[in-house]
Amino acid sequence: MTTWIPASCTLPTPEQPLRVAEFDALFAERLADTSRPDRLRLEMLLTGGEGVEETVRDLVARESGCCSFFTFTVHPGPEHIRLDVEVDDAHEAVLDALQERATAVAGRDVP
């Protein structure tokens, strides 16, 4: 599986596996679907529930702090939360790897 942690990430190396584990848990428990409306944007549909939106917002805020090339947008809904992830041209491969990781952890095929 390709890593989605690029060299430009400023999260200290010892903390990176912990962050990956947080994303893995989110994907394993909540990822319902993914789509790629364009090559630089990934949409993730997450199942909702008590505290899920707050968990997602906290996680992506911390990730934005160390990987500023990510732009995360959270769209809450009554049953699902859509998480949009956008990157610049230089980080398209990172987005590809993130989608690959998310779908693999969730047990889904990349569309």
pLDDT digits (tens, 9 = 90+) for 11-61: 555 666 677 889 999 999 999 999 999 999 999 999 999 999 999 999 999
3-state secondary structure of 88: coil
Residues 26 and 59: their CA atoms lie apart, in Å, by 10
pTM: 0.86
Domains of the chain: 16-106 (3.30.1360.40)
Sequence-separated (6 or more) residues with CB below 8 Å from residue 5: 11, 16, 20
> Hunting for tokens 């934005």 — which residue is that?
64
CA triplet 100, 102, 104: central angle to 5 degrees?
65
**pLDDT at residue number 27:** 95
**pLDDT at residue number 110:** 53
